[in-house]
Amino acid sequence: MTLYAYRGEILSVSHDPLQDRDAVRHEADGLLLVEDGIVVARGPYADLAARYPGVTVEPLPGLIVPGFIDAHIHYPQMDRIASHGEQLLDWLDRHIFPVEKAFVDRAHADQVAGLFLDELLRNGTTSALVFPTVHAHSVDALFEAALDRNMRILSGKVLMDLGPDGLCDTPESARVDSEALIARWRGRGRLGYAVTPRFALTSSDDQLQVAGGLLAAHPDIVMHTHLAENERECAAVAERFPDAADYLDVYDRFGLVGDRSIFAHGIHLSDRACARLSESGAGVAVCPTSNLFLGSGFFNFTQAADHGVRIGLGTDVGAGTSFSMLHTAGVAYQAALMRGHRLDPLRALYLATAGSARLLRIENRVGALEVGQEADFVLLDDRATPLLARRTSEASLAERLFALQILGDDRAVYRTYIMGQCAWDRNLTTA
């Protein structure tokens, strides 16, 4: 067994600060001990150091926080990030569906998957819930690359039998391919499976029924889809499902609303839908840069809090404009303020770490750097740029964190650690 000890300033937020005033844990001079990839001790250096007299301690300059957890992102779309000129449905037709068709080539999927995961690590993201494509081997490519990097990744073949030519499956092929992928990848490394209907408009009733059946048959998997992102999309869903109470009710009718359901966006939600999300234990991955970029709207943080809806944070690349969860947290603050909600920087950190972990049902594994959790963490540099250094030089902890969220990006990520091992270092040309 190998024991590693890291000394530095450590910060985590294990629970939602809106409900738990004691959720914030901060050691200005802390010690983190990692054995075989698991946190075995954490606390003030002065209290812990004497208990481990023979261990070499590595000082880490900067702020140690849990690895970021991206609750919603599309790996095939990274090559179409920053694509101009359309809202959601037209943007999909013009920019996204064409690029996803290229994933019929397994070699292409392998290349993009590796580049995608390296970009996550460069931005301090250690876990993610990821959309692939309709092609089963797009999942294989992503999972194999994640195994090579020992990352905690959840994903699953996209289901879309009403998709465009070249991106269509069938209800039966969706079931067969999904079952095969679950059997092939279950229990391997740090991977998890997600049943992934793209959204209500791209699946027939029969296929949505298949998705519900897969979720019910496998209690160890989650469900991942889109919900109430764009007004035109919502209108189209209402036209197709006139008997449904609202967009969420469409999914509910097929057994897709439960405590393992993760819905991206949720901008245009009724109070009834929010109450149902809360009651069921389902949650929403908030994607502010994507919502702004596509002109979709602003997530209602106050409505979600009033109903007790669990939420996490996602970049939603490629509609999202950055892989950086720091940047995404900064835009979340601005989006929340547009609807009168002041997102506290410590709560924003929670949403980007333990909150997303709770949403993805991996909170017992990652997200808070607590004893027994996997030692995924990020070393942040709040002096990464001259402006950041000037802004944070005399600032409180909350002010420093807020400055990192508003002014920071990948440059503020000094190192990324996976299971206690450095997986990315900005001073090195290779991980």
Cα distance from N-terminal residue to C-terminal residue, the chain: 23
Please check the confidence at residue 275 and state whether its pLDDT lies above 60.
Answer: yes
Torsional class of 127: left (φ above 0), alpha (ψ -120 to 50), beta (otherwise): beta
Please check the confidence at residue 431 and state whether its pLDDT lies above 50.
Answer: no
Cβ atoms of 71 and 359 within 8 Å: the answer is yes
Question: Is the sign of the CA dihedral 364, 369, 375, 378 positive or negative?
Answer: positive
Q: Which of 172, 120, 112 is nearest to 151 (CA)?
A: 120
Convert the pLDDT of each residue in 224-247 to its tens digit. 999 999 999 999 999 999 999 999
CATH class assigned to 3-66+369-425: mainly beta
Q: How far is CA 149 from CA 65, 118, 121, 388, in A?
A: 20, 9, 10, 31
Residues with Cβ < 8 Å from 65, sequence gap 6 or more? 10, 11, 12, 349, 353, 369, 377, 378, 380
The pLDDT value given to residue 93: 93
Using CA atoms, how far apart are residues 53 and 35, in angstroms rounded to an integer?
15
Q: 10 Å Cβ neighbour count for 93?
A: 12
Using CA atoms, how far apart are residues 229 and 215, in angstroms rounded to an integer?
23
Query: Is the pTM for the entire model greater than 0.95?
Result: yes
The pLDDT value given to residue 2: 84
Please check the confidence at residue 430 and state whether its pLDDT lies above 80.
Answer: no
Q: pLDDT category, 429, cuts 50, 70, 90?
A: low
CA 59 to chain centre: 29
**Residue 317 structure tokens:** 């690349």
Using CA atoms, how far apart are residues 132 and 304, in angstroms rounded to an integer?
28
The one-letter code for the residue type at 431 is: A
336 by DSSP, 3-state: which? helix
Q: Which of 353, 342, 284, 368 is nearest to 68 (CA)?
A: 353
Q: 10 Å Cβ neighbour count for 18?
A: 13
Convert the pLDDT of each residue in 335-389 to its tens digit. 999 999 999 999 999 999 999 999 999 999 999 999 999 999 999 999 999 999 9
Q: What is the largest CA-CA distance in the chain?
A: 69
Average pLDDT over the chain reads 97
Convert the pLDDT of each residue in 86-136 to its tens digit. 999 999 999 999 999 999 999 999 999 999 999 999 999 999 999 999 999
The pLDDT value given to residue 21: 84
Total count of residues recorded for the chain? 431
Architecture of domain 68-343: Alpha-Beta Barrel (3.20)
String of DSSP letters for 206-255: HHHHHHHHHHHH-TT-EEEEEES--HHHHHHHHHH-TTSSSHHHHHHTTT
Please check the confidence at residue 307 and state whether its pLDDT lies above 90.
Answer: yes
Cβ atoms of 297 and 268 within 8 Å: the answer is yes
Mean pLDDT, range 200-206, rounded to an integer: 98
Pairing mode of beta strands 152-155, 158-159: unpaired
Cβ atoms of 260 and 222 within 8 Å: the answer is yes
Residues with Cβ < 8 Å from 258, sequence gap 6 or more? 215, 223, 280, 281, 282
Convert the pLDDT of each residue in 37-60 to its tens digit. 999 999 999 999 999 998 999 999
Residues 324-347: b if buried by 16+ CB within 10 A, e if exposed? bbbbbbbbbbebbeeeebebbbbb
Alpha helices (H) along 11-71: 45-48
Domain ranges of the chain: 3-66+369-425, 68-343
* Residue appearing with tokens 């440059």: 411
Please check the confidence at residue 1 and state whether its pLDDT lies above 90.
Answer: no
Mean pLDDT, range 195-207, rounded to an integer: 98
